[in-house]
Amino acid sequence: MLRIIVIILFLSSLSFSGFIGQAQTGPSVASTDPAAAARKNEDPVVLSIGGRQLKASELEKRIDALPINLRSFYKNQGKRQFVDELVRMDLLTGEAIRRKLENDPEVQSQLEMARSSILAAAAMRAVEKEIQVSDEAARSFYAAHSAEFEEVRLRQILVRSSKSLPDGSTTTNSMSPDEARSKAEGLRKQILSGADFAELAQKNSDDLASARNGGDLGFVRRGMNVPPFEKVAFALKPGQVSEVVETPFGFHVVKMEAVRTFEEVKSQVISRLQQINGKEKLAELVKQLNPVINEAYFKVEHGRHASEPMPSFELAAPRKGKSREKGNLPNNGAKP
């Protein structure tokens, strides 16, 4: 329910009745034009409710409208879950209308707050986009914060043992830890002797999700994997193969494929600088507004509730089943 509320707060201005296209007014007729059929397949219908349809392109737009920390989850492994949330939202919205809850003063107040929040966020984005960032400033910021933007493409071979943490996307293995390490060491020696890493990963890796792609994990950032794996992986240079590294998931052999260059992450650097400068500009505007705040009132309130923990307003991506958060087995390079 909390996840539904979170999405409603950010998408309340995009009512589900407008979210899905209008109901079809007549029977559909199959097209005999191959080109038209191909165009239709390029943008398939992913959800139908009561004659209304949601196409893939519209689904992507709605996911792109989410806050960035939710977007990264729903853009990848959470996309199917996002559709489930939309169905539940549609059901509950219809029930709310049936009960005439939109006339409830408390609901109206919450809707107004959500509307103001969405408009404020839109205004903030508009202000940020207007901020010009020079190439020199972007390069300087990147040099000072390179770890924040560092992305590396990795391959891995995972050999699990009977002691490895269970994970729904990996095979089980009855080998002892010593046997698993020995197998991983043997595979590494084959690679150093000229064997193809991708082929060995396909045949031997216990991480099924990446094994089918030759062990390819795609581009990953710091903080996405467990520390032992990350420390070894990010110390490699393109083309290098790691020593066998042990994590709670098993024994890994890692290969560094590539590192994103500044030019490849330049747009992210510029966006980050725009956000920073936008906050500074907002602070200046607030100061010019000169709001009068009764600080004495808040001191009294703070004294009453001093022992209460401060709530976190950072929205985390929901997890379904066993999480891979801080795990080291991302699915096909998807960002967990």
Amino acid at 118: I
Least confident residue range of 95-104, 167-176, 289-298 = 167-176
**Average pLDDT, stretch 284-302?**
87
The model's pLDDT over 216-243, given as tens digits with 9 standing for 90+, comes to: 999 998 888 899 999 999 999 999 999 9
Tokens of 157: 């071979």
Strand-pairing partners, residue 241, are 255
What's the confidence (pLDDT) of residue 167? Answer: 63
The DSSP code sequence of 6-36 is HHHHHHTTS-HHHHSPPPP-S-------HHH
Query: What does pTM read for this prediction?
Result: 0.57
Of 262, 240, 235, nearest in space to 149 by CA? 262
Model pLDDT for residues 112-153, shown as the tens digit of each residue: 999 999 899 889 999 999 999 999 999 999 999 988 888 999
User: SS3 for 308?
Assistant: coil
Other beta carbons within 10 Å of 153: 17
Q: What share of the chain has pLDDT > 90, as a percent?
A: 56
